[in-house]
């Protein structure tokens, strides 16, 4: 088995009286393709905000690549190799795609400008956006906006990519386009956590599923086992 890339232990996050994540343990190994599922409000986004550093946990520890990152700010975690997309894409709409990719590169890499430009171009190619490098982000279709969001998350070469509902609202063929992109990123060696409600997409992508309900992990393992777990069925029926 490959080494542990991410280890979450005893993680808890409360908002006032709301327990969004309650005592969570989660271990992810290098190269895994993980699907993170669970009904609305089950704590998926809160968990990844704690992992990526947008939120400080109430209790618990997060180790990434052997380092305790629990108290590091988000930008330091990004430099260490945690990339993530946001549920609502927020690129700079008045910049071109290539310019949008220069921003994470300036924050997260030590490359010189020509190397950054080459990295931006090769990322656009990998994401199937090479035709649009000089287009303004504000002119993109929904599916290309999602690809740009993924490109921004991976351009600086993260070890872990967390994609939060990147496919919501897309058509069947657009979902397939994003799945193809995610598969290409995984083939490039990036460990991926995919949060998604579209079951067909989650099942086609994931080698392992983790299901949350009310801030707790209720199932973790091979997709068939998790989908057939009575607690998982109950969680979705209650939604
Ligand atoms: P999911 O992504 O699985 O839909 P969330 O992590 O967004 O779930 O939410 C988990 C719970 O935490 C929900 O009850 C939600 O209302 C609550 N929550 C999330 N973010 C906040 C916040 N910033 N302030 C207060 N409550 C929040
Ligand atoms: Mg969410």
pLDDT greater than 70 at residue 226: yes
Q: What is the pLDDT of residue 90?
A: 85
d(CA 152, CA 100): 7
CA-wise closest residue to 68 among 10, 154, 22: 10
- pTM for the model stands at 0.95
Ligand 1: residues whose CB is within 6 Å? 15, 18, 20, 38, 40-46
**Which pLDDT value is given to residue 87?**
83
The pLDDT tens digits of the residues spanning 29-65 come to 999 999 999 999 999 999 999 999 999 999 999 999 9
For range 154-161, the mean pLDDT = 96
Q: Are 26 and 50 in contact (CB under 8 A)?
A: no
The arithmetic mean of pLDDT across residues 102-112, rounded, is 92
**What pLDDT shows up at residue 1?**
74
Atom of ligand 1 nearest to the CA of 39: 3
Using alpha carbons, select from 126, 168, 165 the residue that is nearest to residue 42.
165
218 pLDDT higher than 90: yes
Does residue 238 surpass a pLDDT of 80? no
Which residue from 170, 16, 15 is spatially nearest to 89, judged by alpha carbons? 170
- Residue 138 in this model has a pLDDT that exceeds 70: yes
pLDDT computed for residue 222 by the predictor: 98
**Best mutation site among 17, 24, 43 for ligand 1 pocket (most ligand atoms within 8 Å of CB):** 43
Q: Where are the alpha helices (DSSP H) in the chain?
A: 44-52, 74-80, 97-108, 113-126, 142-154, 172-187, 199-205, 223-227, 230-237
Atom of ligand 1 minimally distant from the CA of 49: 6
The per-residue pLDDT for 239 is: 66
């Amino acid at each position: 088995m490959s080494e542990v890339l991410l280890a979450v232990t005893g993680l808890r996050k409360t908002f006032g009286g709301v327990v969004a994540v309650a005592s969570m343990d989660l271990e992810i190994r290098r190269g895994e393709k993980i699907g993170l599922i669970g009904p609305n409000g089950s704590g998926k986004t809160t968990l990844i905000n704690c992992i990526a550093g947008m939120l400080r946990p109430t209790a618990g520890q997060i180790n990434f690549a052997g380092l305790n990152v629990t108290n590091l700010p988000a930008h330091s975690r990004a430099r260490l190799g945690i990339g993530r997309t946001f549920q609502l894409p927020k690129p700079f709409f008045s910049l071109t795609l290539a310019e949008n990719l220069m921003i994470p590169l300036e924050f997260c890499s030590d490359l010189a400008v020509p190397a950054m430009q080459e990295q931006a171009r090769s990322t656009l190619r990998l994401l199937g956006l090479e035709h649009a490098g000089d287009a303004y982000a504000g002119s993109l279709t929904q599916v290309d906006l999602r690809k740009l969001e993924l490109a921004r998350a991976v351009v600086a070469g993260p070890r872990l990519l967390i994609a939060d509902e990147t496919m919501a609202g897309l058509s069947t063929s657009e979902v397939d386009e994003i799945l193809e992109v995610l598969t290409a990123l995984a083939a490039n060696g990036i460990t991926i956590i995919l949060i998604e409600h579209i079951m067909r997409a989650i099942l086609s992508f994931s080698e392992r599923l983790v299901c949350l309900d009310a801030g707790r992990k209720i199932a973790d393992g091979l997709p068939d086992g998790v989908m057939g777990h009575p607690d998982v069925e109950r969680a979705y029926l209650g939604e």
